[in-house]
Amino acid sequence: MKETLKPGIRYEHKFTVPASKTVPALYPEAEEFQVMPEVFATGFLVGLLEWTCIKALIPHLDWPREQTVGIHIDASHEAATPPGLEVTVVAELTEVKGKKLVFNLEAHDGVDLISKGKHVRFIVDKEKFDSRLSKKTK
């Protein structure tokens, strides 16, 4: 981790929602999802929030050796977003506690605030992480 990794880092990420990120696409094998509205799925929204935090951190880590994994998320999903709208996520690093990183998040689709919340990530050494993970699959 670099000396520049400090609270106050802000990052804005924009993403246009495709049909492939709607509720029916979340679990194609789930019949229940197939009859639900074609709007940005909460599961994909969570991924977008995480992606924004990752992008914010890359310049401040020894990437790709150092990476981060999500360990907690508490985010609302306040408004539906149809495909074609651009979602803007703003992430701000508010705390650095050793390897634990805390972000405040907001997302807007150009019409409504669609999400706000907090996300916690943890810095890992990718090689060590992968080594520990491989023990689960043996």
> Is residue 100 assigned to a domain?
yes
Instruction: Record the tokens describing residue 35, joined without a space.
Output: 């009859």
User: Which two three-digit tokens encode residue 1?
Assistant: 């981790």
Say what the pLDDT of residue 50 is: 98
The pLDDT of residue 137 is 85
Options 13, 60, 77, 108, the catalytic residue: 77
Residue 60 known to be catalytic: no
How many CB atoms within 10 Å of residue 89?
Answer: 24
Q: Is residue 3 one of the residues assigned to a domain?
A: no
Q: Is 137 a residue of the active site?
A: no
Options 42, 88, 92, 106, the catalytic residue: 42
Residue 42 included in any domain: yes
102 part of a folded domain: yes
Is 77 a catalytic site residue? yes
Q: Domain limits at 28?
A: 10-137
Would you say residue 4 lies in a domain?
no
Q: Is residue 73 part of a domain?
A: yes
Catalytic residue, from 50, 68, 81, 119: name it: 50
What is the count of structural domains for the chain?
Answer: 1
User: Per-10-residue mean pLDDT for the chain, 138 residues long?
Assistant: 96 98 96 97 98 98 98 98 98 98 98 98 97 89
CA angle 83, 88, 93 (to 5 degrees): 140
State the CATH number of the domain containing residue 28.
Answer: 3.10.129.10
Could you write out the DSSP letters of every residue in 75-97? E---S---TTPEEEEEEEEEEEE
